[in-house]
């Protein structure tokens, strides 16, 4: 939702500047009225289109703004055979989960399924690596079961052992 609060006012300002230019230009009255009507119709269309885009999954390759997608947790996944793989990811540094879509390939679907089974067996999460642009890491799977976290170290007693001493009344 923060995206709309930034992009929409910028779009409004740009359209308002264009409308001002067209109104103050030496044109006929009908051209000026058309410019104002166009500006008025553009604003709700722009807002609705931005709001609609927020609910759609974003292709992973289009996520150029988020470099944090290097290692994300897969919260949910849906595989539509021969179409797409839809992912809901928890990305480090971002509070809300993000929705992404991958093109369907049998290899990617198998990797995801194997990682889900491995994570279920180990009681861990499924993670995704960002596909490398250079193609150097083709051997590593895109999806993997996260290793279990090491438990915290046990607290050792700081006092010495307790020794039972009989009292004089118990003898």
Question: Phi and psi dihedrals of 149, rounded to 5?
Answer: -75, 145
pLDDT in the model for residue 38 = 87
| Fold of domain 59-145 | OB fold (Dihydrolipoamide Acetyltransferase, E2P) (2.40.50)
41, containing H or E segment: helix 29-54
pLDDT in the model for residue 75 = 92
What are the pLDDT digits (tens) for 72-113? 889 999 999 989 999 998 887 778 888 888 888 999 899 999
Model-level pTM?
0.60
pLDDT in the model for residue 137 = 52
Residue 150 has pLDDT above 70, yes or no: yes
CB burial of residue 42 (10 Å; 0-12, 13-18, 19+): middle
Share of the chain above pLDDT 70, in %: 84
Report the distance separating Cα 96 and Cα 100, nearest Å.
13
Contact 12, 43 (CB under 8 A): yes
pLDDT band at 50 (very low <50, low <70, confident <90, very high): confident
pLDDT in the model for residue 139 = 67
**Looking at per-residue confidence, does 8 or 106 come out higher?**
106
- Give long-range contacts, CB 8 A cutoff, 24+ apart: 131-138: 131/60, 131/61
């Amino acid at each position: 939702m923060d995206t709309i609060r930034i992009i929409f006012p910028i779009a409004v300002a740009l359209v308002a500047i264009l409308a001002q230019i067209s109104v103050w230009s030496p044109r006929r009255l009908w051209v000026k009225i058309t410019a104002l009507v166009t500006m008025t119709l553009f604003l709700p269309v722009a807002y609705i289109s931005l709001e609609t885009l927020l609910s759609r999954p974003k292709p992973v390759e289009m996520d150029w703004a988020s470099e944090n997608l290097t290692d994300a947790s897969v919260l949910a996944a849906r595989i539509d055979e021969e179409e797409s793989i839809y992912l809901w990811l928890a990305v480090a540094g971002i509070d809300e989960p993000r929705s992404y879509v991958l093109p369907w390939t049998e290899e990617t679907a198998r990797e995801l399924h194997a990682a889900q089974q491995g994570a279920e067996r180990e009681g861990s999460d499924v993670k995704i690596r960002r596909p490398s642009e250079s193609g150097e890491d083709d051997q590593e799977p895109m999806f993997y079961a996260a290793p279990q976290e090491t438990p915290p170290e046990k607290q050792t007693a700081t006092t010495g052992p307790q020794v039972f001493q009989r009292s004089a009344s118990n003898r």
